[in-house]
Amino acid sequence: MKLLLVTLRKRPGSDQVSRREQLLDDDKIRVGRGVSMDIHLSDLNVDFHHATLLENDGRLILRSTAPDGLEINHVYRDEVDLSEGKKVSIGRYSFRAEAGRDGADFVVTLEETAAVQQTAHSQAKRQIEDVLPSRRVLSWVASLAVLVLFVAWPMAEVLQRDVPPDEPYVMDGMVRADVMPASPMEIAWTSGDISMAHSVLAHDCAACHQRPFERTTNNACLACHATVEEHLDLDQHARIGETVPRCASCHREHKGAEEPTQAACLTCHSNIRAISPDSKFADITDFAKDHPNFRLPLMTGTFVDEKALLPEVQQVRVEPIGAVHAPMTEVAGLKFPHEKHLVGGGKRKGSASLQCSNCHVVEAGGARMRPIEMERDCAHCHKLSFNAGGVERTLPHAQEDAVAQILQDYFLSAALMNTGVGGASEVDRQQVIDTALQQASAQTDAIFGTWMCGTCHEAQRVPDDSGQARWRVLPVLSGRPWLMAGRFEHVPHEAMDCTGCHAATGSSEASDVLMPGIAVCQDCHRGEAEAASARSACVSCHNLHVTGKEPMSPAHARIFHAMGAKKQRAVKRQADKK
């Protein structure tokens, strides 16, 4: 078989086609990748020996010896008759047969399509730009995300809100009728956690931030806190300025703290005379450093006559400053040795030595001790019984005239019963009565003066309007607040020993003042600078808004009280209807 092989090869990068003719003469013409093949196809996808050309009954057959076979119009065959003029592909080569010429039995045109660059390493993405989105696009996305999420979205809602006018108004029952919950992302405008007291407003920014670019107004605060009292008399603080100070200048609501910090107080109080030249307060920087000792309202004065029974009260500073237990006395109006009750013979029947808490109990509310009541706290031991004629009678407490009358009645009736009222003469009877009255008077004097009332009380004979002398027990001055400007609560101190602060075990007189000096407090309250300290900020003991001072804003207070009156009228109207 003679075969004329025409090879057409397209040059890469041009339209030119090179043509080469070659005459092959063999029975079988081998086609493949191998260099030893008769027709050498330089393509890795072609097998070493891919196919064989052979003649069969005058027809030119291309028979595949490779598993990939021969491709005709995307169909793979093992054997193809080329004489039919079909175009057969092997790899990037194609074969087409034509009728023989120039002495050849067949002419086969072998067409080679240009090799595509097969190597992958130069095609893979190697630049980071190729695998990441453009920085410009990312910048826009990030910027717009921040703008939309944190500004545009919440702002769209915020700007639509109705705002109250900037004038005094008072919330009815502290309910915001027009409450507009914050947009979810508005919360992200916060400059810090809101204080515990206002946590209910944490998602209601507009309650305080009412108008754009305006500092929170006092009107917003006073809408709820209408009656809050002033901290100071503005008249005496001319240098602070004409207007009411901003609430927010002391109350920093986004600092997470519960109350104004000590530093806020010290702004003025570390040099109080700078704004109030006549202030009676001492300059202070810290409780532990320069807080003055307590000034106690001590009773002075004498109890000479009935008019002087109300004693004078004098503020006396515990001296010397820093004294642990104040060596002070006052007029007590009572004879009560703490020492005797706590340490010595004072014993309840059938019980151990008395404890402080047997008599002193914190009153409801937890601040002060409830006042001592004789019937409840003393009478268990100190019975007011008066035994006469084998019958025990209990005298009433705190009723001097009644006690005198009971004694008189007793002695008179006893005398009359003994003498027999009908039998005695007028003179005898008068004598019996006089004797009885004398006995009664002596007994009354004894009871008031020495052994019953007199055990604990100081009593005096005071003439009444008709000139008759009557026994009067001097008032007992217990159960009054000792600290006039500060707050002290017993409950938080419950775990402590009472006598750690109050030197009761060494006191033999009721007139001993058992209030501790400031140094006792400073043992635990070591100042704000000290980390290991009990709370010692100013507001731990002192109220910022002073009870009894003028309201912060008279206008708000007026509206509030007017509202109260209106409410009361409304309630009354409803009750009347029913």
Which positions touch other proteins (CB under 8 A)? Answer: 33-35, 40, 42, 44-45, 47-48, 66, 118-122, 124-129, 131-132, 135, 138-143, 145-147, 150-151, 187-193, 205, 209, 212-216, 252, 255, 261, 263-264, 266-267
Comparison of 176 and 429: residue with beta carbon closer to other proteins: 176
Smallest distance from other proteins to CB 130, Å:
8
Smallest distance from other proteins to CB 196, Å:
15
Comparison of 158 and 288: residue with beta carbon closer to other proteins: 158
Residue 551: closest CA among 171, 216, 231:
231
Q: Is the dihedral of CA 55, 57, 60, 66 positive or negative?
A: negative
Smallest distance from other proteins to CB 69, Å:
14
Comparison of 42 and 199: residue with beta carbon closer to other proteins: 42
Please enumerate in sequence order all residues whose Cβ is within 8 A of that of 473, keeping only pairs 6 or more positions apart, or say none: 398, 400, 448, 453, 457, 458, 459
Smallest distance from other proteins to CB 337, Å:
49
Smallest distance from other proteins to CB 299, Å:
40
**322 Rama class: left (phi>0) / alpha (psi -120 to 50) / beta:** left
Residue 244: closest CA among 556, 564, 563, 548:
556
Please enumerate in sequence order all residues whose Cβ is within 8 A of that of 412, keeping only pairs 6 or more positions apart, or say none: 433, 436, 437, 440
Strand 87-90 with 295-300, pairing: unpaired
Q: Packing angle between helix 426-446 and helix 400-419, nearest 10 degrees?
A: 140
Please enumerate in sequence order all residues whose Cβ is within 8 A of that of 6, keeping only pairs 6 or more positions apart, or say none: 19, 20, 21, 107, 108, 109, 110
End-to-end CA distance of the chain: 129
Smallest distance from other proteins to CB 161, Å:
13
Please enumerate in sequence order all residues whose Cβ is within 8 A of that of 456, keeping only pairs 6 or more positions apart, or say none: 334, 335, 336, 378, 382
Smallest distance from other proteins to CB 227, Å:
26
Smallest distance from other proteins to CB 496, Å:
32
Comparison of 179 and 417: residue with beta carbon closer to other proteins: 179
Smallest distance from other proteins to CB 336, Å:
47
Comparison of 128 and 491: residue with beta carbon closer to other proteins: 128
Smallest distance from other proteins to CB 167, Å:
19
Comparison of 97 and 264: residue with beta carbon closer to other proteins: 264
Taking a C-beta distance cutoff of 8 angstroms, is the pair 411, 436 a contact?
yes
* Number of other residues whose CB lies within 10 A of the CB of residue 222: 25
Smallest distance from other proteins to CB 243, Å:
18
Comparison of 76 and 375: residue with beta carbon closer to other proteins: 76
Smallest distance from other proteins to CB 126, Å:
4
Comparison of 122 and 243: residue with beta carbon closer to other proteins: 122
Taking a C-beta distance cutoff of 8 angstroms, is the pair 191, 247 a contact?
no
Strand 75-77 with 2-10, pairing: unpaired
Taking a C-beta distance cutoff of 8 angstroms, is the pair 77, 123 a contact?
no
d(CA 473, CA 458): 6
Comparison of 17 and 138: residue with beta carbon closer to other proteins: 138
Comparison of 211 and 397: residue with beta carbon closer to other proteins: 211
Q: What tokens appear for 423 in the block?
A: 């039998």
d(CA 208, CA 395): 64
Comparison of 73 and 118: residue with beta carbon closer to other proteins: 118
Smallest distance from other proteins to CB 120, Å:
5
Comparison of 118 and 160: residue with beta carbon closer to other proteins: 118
d(CA 316, CA 295): 5
d(CA 13, CA 117): 12
Comparison of 220 and 403: residue with beta carbon closer to other proteins: 220
Strand 87-90 with 106-112, pairing: unpaired
- For 328, phi and psi rounded to 5 degrees? -130, 150
* Number of other residues whose CB lies within 10 A of the CB of residue 502: 19
